[in-house]
Structure 1
Amino acid sequence: MNDVVAYAVAVRTLCEFTAKQGDLDLRFTPSPSAQEGMIGHGVVASRRPPPYQTEVSLAGEYKGLKVRGRADGYDPSSHRLEEIKTHRGDLAAMPANHRHLHWAQLKVYGWLMCQERELPAIDLALVYFDIASQTETVLNERHDAATLQAFFEEQCERFLAWAAQEAAHRASRDEQLGVLRFPHDDFRPSQRVLAESVYRAAASGRVLAAQAPTGIGKTIGTLFPMLKACPGQRIDKVFFLTAKTSGRQLALGAAETLRRSAPALPLRVIELVARDKACEYPDRACHGDSCPLARGFYDRLPQARQMAVEAAAAGATLDKATLRGVAAQHGVCPYYLAQDLTRWSDVLVGDYNYYFDLNAMLFGLTLANQWKVGVLIDEAHNLVDRVRGMYSAQLSLEDIRVARSLAPPALRTAFDRVKRQWKTVCKNQEGAYAVYESVPAGVLNALQQASTAMTELLAEQAALIEPALLAVYFDILHFCRLAELFDGDSLCDLTQPEGAAASAARADSTLCLRNVVPAAFVKPRLAAAHSTTLFSATLRPQAYYQDMLGLPADTAWVDVPSPFTANQLSVQVARHVSTRFAHRRQSLAPIVALMSKQYAAAPGNYLAFFSSYDYLEQVANAFAASHPNIPVWSQSRRMDESARDAFLARFTPASSGIGFAVLGGAFAEGIDLPGKRLIGAFIATLGLPQINPVNEQIRERMDRTFASGYDYTYLYPGMQKVVQAAGRVIRSPSDRGVVHLIDDRFGRREIRELLPSWWALDEAEVRVKQAG
């Protein structure tokens, strides 16, 4: 092969490509978190005497292939290079192919070190650090430079054909992106403003926060300019992150539109799906002794990988269905096939958690491979609550009781210790709800000991562990990991039933770690990306999102003008109604009267939004009783996907009726019902979160941090839901419709300021007064 590959690869990626073999085997799990891994590396390094060096950057080339990475540690006085691997449990339980991979990585680093420092030989040490016992197991081998060079070149030879293919793909991709044209005749006016802003942010390597109205084509309006910026900025990957499945489908559709408009564009687009949605054998464990798709997985993976990229080259999107078909032909797991293909794809479409979670895969790969990435965050107003959820955890005393009842005898003592410590806290607590400055030490120590004991048992008897016990175990692990990160941006609280303090032995209770301000967790994710665009119809007020998400000081903000005009949407305020909890019963009759009057004036399809299922059911029942001839249908609790589809299917251009839904739920955002499919909405609430002890604690924390406790806790999140729901009505310049804002508080100045500027709200208020 000629030396013309010109392709860079990380040591880890190279070895995972060339040295993984045999079964997929997750029995030696769970691995330590990224935070625990960093701490473990630090502990090992602290035990080494000077002149020990850490994070040693190394690079080398072979036939145009550039291999780069960072070795964990090097002692120049003894010429010993170390690869540090943190773990839990019995090291003897580690599958042989895991250790084979670790040695491969260390040998590659060994050659790069010998080459750089002209060493004739070097000592290589695999250091396995048990994060529970804080002990090291060190495996030493001495290798001469010639042997290591031969090993390095062997790995490179195995990778070169693939590297040449990838280099050609990248060159062709960037060439075609350079001449790519917008797939429609022209941009919509507001869509052009959005697209230009995304491109400028990508060109300058900045964060962009774009408030853009619904219905202007934000998906294609952000994906197209980010892709156009890729060649000039040398962007490796584009991550399109969504809060809901509907957003993921829109992104895949936009990518397909781009590829159809440019048949020569070799764009690999992959859909990332949760494991439980992709698994073919949900009742089996992920190892070769249990699952046939795990047996020999790495031996069959190269053929499956090649078929997938060839399918993409032929124009296929690597979505769930396509990957399932490829995996079936080669007898491999479709979920882990997708995990491998993330390294070789251009556009990755998935949930927020793939980049923002505690152990986010895409974030980890970006750091490990030194990728230059462009990140697009769809419906970014959801990011605050979603990241809060990722960095929150809860356990109940009932969870511990269940775990204890299912645990083998060797674990029961550990769970008994947790129960004792927990009950002590309950007994000493005054009242049903209390906030603690930190996680109660006795409970945390007992949970950590139970976690360690179960990890050791899992390494030996994974197949014998009850699924319910395993679920509690993972909840405990997550709780303990977040306890290590606990600071002033989170709350620790314990809730028990009223009057339970005197009988803690019988009472259930829940211990929670609640993230309040997620900024500290979002910041490093934004810093790792070359450019990030957050876009939504509701990113107002600016200070709220700046504070909550920790956006950089130089973030570019753009409020994209609406293409819609006030005469398209009649916004009417029902000031004579209060939807406050205390006034719910009195509000039923006037709401029913208002809805029936609107329907009589303009029959068609409407959505009616309420703050809870209980309120929804009260109004829906009252409406159906007084107007039995008007079709109504309601969102129900825990609707599955087919039920949600059936709900939306009622909205047709020829139908009429009223769909009742919950504000902030599945039908309040992310759905598209253009034209006659939806001509109006009734919003009978400000969407304010419930006032309860937890939210009041959050309000107090917000007051101390930002001096805007009520607004940050209640007002802004509530009005965000209102604007999103109202945005279902006008989806194109030809749409016409009406929105009724039902609550006297919608007339307040501070509320009006949070509504879209193109709404003619003042005129609507005049009409309401005159009509009254």
Structure 2
Amino acid sequence: MRDSQGEMISDGVRVLSEGGFLLAAAPTGIGKTAAALASALQSSFDNRLSTERSNIIFMTGRQSQHKIVVDTVRKINSRIPDGIPKISLVDIIGREGMCDHVEAMTGKCNCEDDVVEESRKSRRADLRQRILEEPRHVDWTVKYGRARKICPWAAARSAAGHADVLVCDYNHVFVENVREASLPAMGIELESSILIIDEAHNLPDRIRSGLERRVTDQVFRRARDNIEEYKGNLQRKVDSLDIEESKDLIRARELEKQIDALQAPVQEWLEKLKIENENTRGDDLRISTTDFLEVISKSINGVLDDEQDDDISRVNGMVQRLFSVVIDEEEDSEEDEQNDCT
């Protein structure tokens, strides 16, 4: 062990025991990854910190770093004496990188097509166990899963909460909708986890990128599908219980009309911006919020009988309806693929 590594481990254990954080700036190649993991693991296994062991979330924006972390944990395990539990690790990347094909509209993969439910569960359990047996790089998980018609992404996600170390992208913690969709599904509590952020100087740009939202034709189509599903669920409930229509069902119908009225005008507006953007040789166009809201408000003006007169109130009413849309979440859903209304 290098002297610099020893100092970093000592500092890391000390600040973690005090509930603080450590910002380490050092040249490449001195062993920051090993030192960060060692101090986090020691703190995680220290019974004085908590009655339950903390999960360690190692975040990096580079897939090449994933392999380094896996290999580092393997080396740590090789030095653990027999009879003492080894460190378990789950390495996970985005679903598009792990599944053979992911449907753009639904966010679902075809990894387990034609596999019956009972077999699907047993196959995932087998892969989950193998992932936790020893630290494995995500490439191994993908290869093993595809060869046996198991969804490697779903199996890795189900194993994550049982592992000592999770290796993943920054988005799992720092982008709200990804965090809320992924960590609870993995069985990981952020409040009791130890975070290691690799190359933290890249974090601001990655967070800005993760928070970026795009308005496209597909967004409106998917939102329309979400509303139709939501409305159908409400209608079936009314029919099965033989009750009066609920306010939610009425609001869903109103929202459906508004989204239908939006699609053509917004598409036309986007086409005009696209042409303007091409005329400026691809330079970014600054679009004011006022202009965008004006397009929305004019598009939905007159759609509802009892709507508000002013633009802001009209748009705000539609936004409230959008946030009321709830759709049934799939077990294997991720990130913002769930509900384009919100």
Q: Do they fold alike, i.e. is TM over 0.5?
A: yes
**What is residue 320 of structure 1 aligned with on the other side?**
139
Q: Which has the higher helix share?
A: 2
CA distance in 2: counterparts of 1:385 and 1:195, whole angstroms: 28
**What is residue 680 of structure 1 aligned with on the other side?**
none
Counterpart amino acid of 2:159? Answer: L
Q: Does the 8 Å contact 1:327/1:337 carry over to 2?
A: no
**What is residue 334 of structure 1 aligned with on the other side?**
152
Query: Which residue of 382, 401, 422 corresponds with 2:202?
Result: 382
Q: How does 1:177-192 map to 2 (within 5 A)?
A: 187-192=1-6
| TM-score of the two chains, using structure 2 as the length reference | 0.61
CA distance in 2: counterparts of 1:402 and 1:310, whole angstroms: 38
Q: How does 1:480-559 map to 2 (within 5 A)?
A: 481=342
**What is residue 11 of structure 2 aligned with on the other side?**
197
> What per-residue deviation string (whole Å, max 9, x for no partner) do you get for residues 479-533 of structure 1?
x75xxxxxxxxxxxxxxxxxxxxxxxxxxxxxxxxxxxxxxxxxxxxxxxxxxxx
Q: Does the 8 Å contact 1:301/1:332 carry over to 2?
A: no
**What is residue 373 of structure 1 aligned with on the other side?**
193
Q: Does the 8 Å contact 1:269/1:348 carry over to 2?
A: yes
CA distance in 1: counterparts of 2:100 and 2:147, whole angstroms: 10
Partner SS for 1:393: coil
Identity of aligned residues (%): 21
> What per-residue deviation string (whole Å, max 9, x for no partner) do you get for residues 180-204 of structure 1?
xxxxxxx212222222221112111
Q: Does the 8 Å contact 2:99/2:152 carry over to 1?
A: yes
Partner SS for 1:416: helix
Counterpart amino acid of 1:196? Answer: S
Give how far 1:206 is off: 1.1
CA distance in 2: counterparts of 1:316 and 1:250, whole angstroms: 11
Q: How does 1:502-651 map to 2 (within 5 A)?
A: none
Q: Which has the larger radius of gyration?
A: 1
**What is residue 442 of structure 1 aligned with on the other side?**
294
- Greater RCO, CA 8 A, separation 6+: 2
Query: Which residue of 264, 278, 282 corresponds with 1:416?
Result: 264
Question: 1:268 and 1:300, CA in 2 relative to 1: closer, same or farther beyond 3 A?
Answer: same
- The alignment status of 1:251 with 2:69, answered yes or no, reads yes
- The alignment status of 1:221 with 2:11, answered yes or no, reads no
- The alignment status of 1:274 with 2:94, answered yes or no, reads yes
CA distance in 2: counterparts of 1:309 and 1:283, whole angstroms: 28
Give how far 1:228 is off: 0.8
- Which shows bigger deviation, 219-228 or 411-420? 411-420
CA distance in 1: counterparts of 2:100 and 2:272, whole angstroms: 45
Unaligned runs of 5+ in 1: 1-186, 460-472, 482-772
**What is residue 162 of structure 2 aligned with on the other side?**
344
CA distance in 1: counterparts of 2:99 and 2:271, whole angstroms: 39
Partner SS for 2:161: helix
Q: Does the 8 Å contact 1:358/1:390 carry over to 2?
A: no
CA distance in 1: counterparts of 2:167 and 2:112, whole angstroms: 28
Question: 1:368 and 1:342, CA in 2 relative to 1: closer, same or farther beyond 3 A?
Answer: closer
Counterpart amino acid of 2:140? Answer: A
Question: 1:442 and 1:419, CA in 2 relative to 1: closer, same or farther beyond 3 A?
Answer: farther
Q: Does the 8 Å contact 2:12/2:22 carry over to 1?
A: yes
CA distance in 2: counterparts of 1:402 and 1:207, whole angstroms: 39
Q: How many residues are aligned here?
A: 264
For the aligned residues, what is the CA RMSD?
4.5
Q: Does the 8 Å contact 1:297/1:333 carry over to 2?
A: no
Q: How does 1:129-140 map to 2 (within 5 A)?
A: none
Q: Does the 8 Å contact 2:55/2:164 carry over to 1?
A: yes
Counterpart amino acid of 1:325? Answer: Y
Counterpart amino acid of 1:321? Answer: W
Counterpart amino acid of 1:253? Answer: D
Question: 1:413 and 1:254, CA in 2 relative to 1: closer, same or farther beyond 3 A?
Answer: same
CA distance in 1: counterparts of 2:22 and 2:182, whole angstroms: 20
Give how far 1:224 is off: 0.9
**What is residue 79 of structure 2 aligned with on the other side?**
261
CA distance in 1: counterparts of 2:296 and 2:18, whole angstroms: 45
Unaligned runs of 5+ in 2: 226-256, 275-279, 301-314, 329-335
Give how far 1:376 is off: 0.2
Q: Does the 8 Å contact 1:195/1:222 carry over to 2?
A: yes
> What per-residue deviation string (whole Å, max 9, x for no partner) do you get for residues 439-463 of structure 1?
732345669879x99xx9x99xxxx
Q: Does the 8 Å contact 2:55/2:188 carry over to 1?
A: no
Q: Does the 8 Å contact 1:287/1:294 carry over to 2?
A: no
CA distance in 2: counterparts of 1:303 and 1:433, whole angstroms: 50
Partner SS for 1:376: strand
> What per-residue deviation string (whole Å, max 9, x for no partner) do you get for residues 5-33 of structure 1?
xxxxxxxxxxxxxxxxxxxxxxxxxxxxx
Counterpart amino acid of 2:201? Answer: H
**What is residue 752 of structure 1 aligned with on the other side?**
none
> What per-residue deviation string (whole Å, max 9, x for no partner) do you get for residues 136-171 of structure 1?
xxxxxxxxxxxxxxxxxxxxxxxxxxxxxxxxxxxx
Partner SS for 1:197: helix
| TM-score of the two chains, using structure 1 as the length reference | 0.30
Question: 1:444 and 1:299, CA in 2 relative to 1: closer, same or farther beyond 3 A?
Answer: farther
CA distance in 1: counterparts of 2:111 and 2:127, whole angstroms: 22
Counterpart amino acid of 1:436? Answer: S
Q: Which has the higher strand share?
A: 1
